[in-house]
Structure formats: C-alpha cells, structure tokens
Amino acid sequence: MNKVTALKVAELAGVSQSAVSRVFTPGASVSNKTALKVRKAAQELSYRPNVLARSLITGKSRIIGLVVAYLDNYFYPAALEKLSNSLKEEGYHVLVFMASNDDQSTEQVIEELLDYQVDGIITASVGISNDLTARCEAAGVPVVLFNRTQDKASHSAVTSDNFLGGQTAARFLYEAGHKRIAYIGGWAGASTQRDREAGFRFGLKNADAILFAHALGNFSTDIAKAVARNMFSGSIKPDAVFVATDHMAFAVMDVLRSELDLSVPKDVSVVGYDDVPPASWAAYDLTTLRQRSNLMVDQTVNLMIDKIRDPDVASKHIKILSPLIVRGSAKIPKGWST
C-alpha cells in the first residue's frame, strides 16, 4: 500500500496542502467549511498526519514531558489525569517518565525527555537541581514544578501553602487540648515535607507547645507503619499525631487500631494532608488538609503554556491555600466546625 500524503488529501478536498496542514495543527486558524472538507477527504483516504515529521519542520513536538517519582499516593494519579486532560485541551500530548527521588535518576530522565524534543517539562513529586533546570533553560525547554519547589526560584512552581497547612494542623491539635503532639513526615529531601514540618513546628511554638515525638515515613506506607509502632511503643505515648500525607496517615491509623488497640480519636487524634478519596471513607473518616488539585493543575498548565508562548515570562511560585477538612479522626476544638 502506498502511503497517503497530505497532497493527496488536498487534491481530493480541493484545497491547498497548507490548508490540510492547518486542519491537523492544534490551534491553527482554519474555517469550518475547509476543515469539514479536509477531514472528509482524510477519512476517505485513511490519512493520518505524521506528527513527528511536522515537529521536525515546526520545531514543536506538541509534547509535554511529565516526570513523576511514585504513584502509590492517591493524590498523584488523580492529579496527573487532570494534568493530562488539561494539556490535551490545549493541544498537547503528555509523555510520562518515572524517576526515583535522587539526582542521578532525575537527571537521566530529564536528558531523555530533552532527546524527545519536548516543548516543556512538568515534574511532579520529584526534586530537580538548579544545575539541571539551567540546562533545560539553555535548551529552550521550560520547566514547571508541580507540588515541589526548589531553593532558587529559577523555575515556576505550584504547590499548596504547605507551611500554613502545617501551622493550621498544629493550632487545631493544640486547641483540642492535646499535650503530647507528634509528627510523622515524608522524605527529607522533599520541599513539601520540609515546609509542612516547618509550619507545624512554628504553629506549636506560637502556642508555647513542644513537639513530643518526630519521625520520617519517607512517603512510604511500610515505613510509616514501622515508625508508628516505634513512636507509640513507650509507656507515655503521643495523644495526637500530624502525618504529612493521607496515605501514610491511613497506615498509621491501621497500626494504632489493629495492632496497638488504641482508639482514634479517643486515645490518639490523627490529622493528615491531601484529602484523597479514601479520607472520607467511614473506615478512616480522616481530618486532613485538602490539596485543591484542580486549582493546582489549572495554575500549572497556565504557567507552562505562558512560558512556551513567551520564554521571557518571569517565573512564578504559586501557593494555594489548603483548607482543613474536619472529620472524625481527631478531637474537635471548640469553635471549629465540621
């Protein structure tokens, strides 16, 4: 079979070859009448545009590279689906690469994405060094960080206001009358972990309270279970714990109730962060800070499209407020409503 070309489609539709190209180029200007004729001719001839060939001519692949470290946290699959759909509406496809939370793995993935001639890169749940972002900038490929920041504001980033979220959790638990308040955090290298813990410590300090116990769960349910067993093994146990993500909080609650025979919230109040769907299930009924993924995705896509259209647009760090969703896993202070 001979390959059907755009020229053959143009001849059958009675239009120019450039008109055929515009019909199959997202965002290009073309009349409805011309588009209908071209698509009818393309269907008759079983024509499919060669996207890769067009990218060589235009220098634009219409592909956004998406780098993610792990998907076991319910927050990320839902957020990535929204990112993909939103970028599709803008005429872009998404190429997903998995990376580990270390500089070498991230660097390798970014280098591969640059080889694919992507128009932009979004990193989710991974850190990225300033040197690596500088190399992307030199290659003319904008980078937007989703749910992460970097020490230098050389690239745009969208996060929830993690510091304020941690501060809110501290105030909520302190005002509920807890005296032995603990914290189980994520991976030490993550900006989300650092900011949530810093906000939590700041909130306790403002209340003239001290952090009773501290451990890192590395965003892993298995590690979160292990540190919970250790944290609550002593004769004097925490009476409240703020856990840096919901999926770790679920693991901690399972240990408290199933293994240690502690009641939540009678013996221990538990507060999480994310408000993923299982947080509202009766089995957990988790009080948590809600990451508003819809707003985060919208801002991320806007920043990326703006940067693609105008590389000189200044980088921004957007922080989105995370409201506390009060449920049944923690004692409720007077004046706080569910």
Same-domain pairing of 234 and 259: yes
CB count within 10 Å of CB 94 equals 17
Strand partners, 271: 242, 287
- Report the predicted TM-score, pTM, of the whole model to 2 decimal places: 0.82
Same-domain pairing of 170 and 70: no
In a domain, residue 214? The reply is yes
Cα 71-72-76 angle, rounded to 5 deg: 45
Same-domain pairing of 20 and 116: no
Q: What is the pLDDT of residues 216-255, one digit of tens each?
A: 999 999 999 999 999 999 899 999 999 999 999 999 999 9
In a domain, residue 326? The reply is no
- What burial class does residue 282 get, using C-beta atoms within 10 Å of its C-beta: 0-12 exposed, 13-18 middle, 19+ buried? exposed
In a domain, residue 240? The reply is yes
Contact predicate 110/121, CB 8 Å: yes
Helix boundaries (H) for the chain: 6-13, 17-23, 32-45, 51-58, 75-89, 103-115, 130-138, 162-175, 191-206, 221-231, 246-254, 293-309
Report which of 331, 242, 336, 335 is spatially closest to residue 289, judged by C-alpha positions. 242
Same-domain pairing of 206 and 186: yes
In a domain, residue 232? The reply is yes
At 53, the pLDDT band (50, 70, 90 cuts) reads low
C-alpha–C-alpha distance, residues 45 and 39, integer Å? 10
Residue 262 structural domain? 162-291
C-alpha–C-alpha distance, residues 5 and 105, integer Å? 41
In a domain, residue 330? The reply is no
Collapse the DSSP code of 287 into the 3-class scheme (helix H, G, I; strand E, B; otherwise coil) and give the result: strand
- Could you tell me how many residues make up the chain? 338
Report which of 170, 70, 153, 65 is spatially closest to residue 110, judged by C-alpha positions. 65
Q: What is the pLDDT of residue 211?
A: 97
Same-domain pairing of 244 and 193: yes
Domain count across the chain: 3
Q: Tell me, what CATH number does 130's domain have? A: 3.40.50.2300
Q: What is the pLDDT of residue 101?
A: 66
Same-domain pairing of 13 and 103: no
C-alpha–C-alpha distance, residues 310 and 323, integer Å? 33
102-115 burial code (b ≥16 CB/10 A, e <16): ebeebbebbeebbe
C-alpha–C-alpha distance, residues 130 and 206, integer Å? 33
Same-domain pairing of 139 and 243: no
In a domain, residue 329? The reply is no
Distances in Å between the Cα of 222 and the Cα atoms of 52, 215, 247, 252 are 43, 13, 11, 9
Same-domain pairing of 72 and 23: no
Same-domain pairing of 271 and 180: yes
61-78 burial code (b ≥16 CB/10 A, e <16): bbbbbbbbbbeebbbbeb
Same-domain pairing of 209 and 280: yes
Domain termination residue (choose one: 251, 276, 291): 291
At 51, the pLDDT band (50, 70, 90 cuts) reads low
Q: What is the pLDDT of residue 140?
A: 85
At 151, the pLDDT band (50, 70, 90 cuts) reads low
Q: Which residues lie below 8 Å from residue 296, measured CB to CB, with a gap of 6+? A: 79, 146, 147, 158, 159, 160, 320
Same-domain pairing of 239 and 256: yes
The yes-or-no verdict on residue 64 having pLDDT over 60 is yes
How large is the average pLDDT for residues 265-277?
Answer: 97
In a domain, residue 338? The reply is no
Same-domain pairing of 92 and 173: no
Q: What is the pLDDT of residue 61?
A: 73
How large is the average pLDDT for residues 154-182?
Answer: 95
In a domain, residue 280? The reply is yes
How large is the average pLDDT for residues 301-317?
Answer: 92
CB count within 10 Å of CB 89 equals 10
C-alpha–C-alpha distance, residues 274 and 272, integer Å? 7
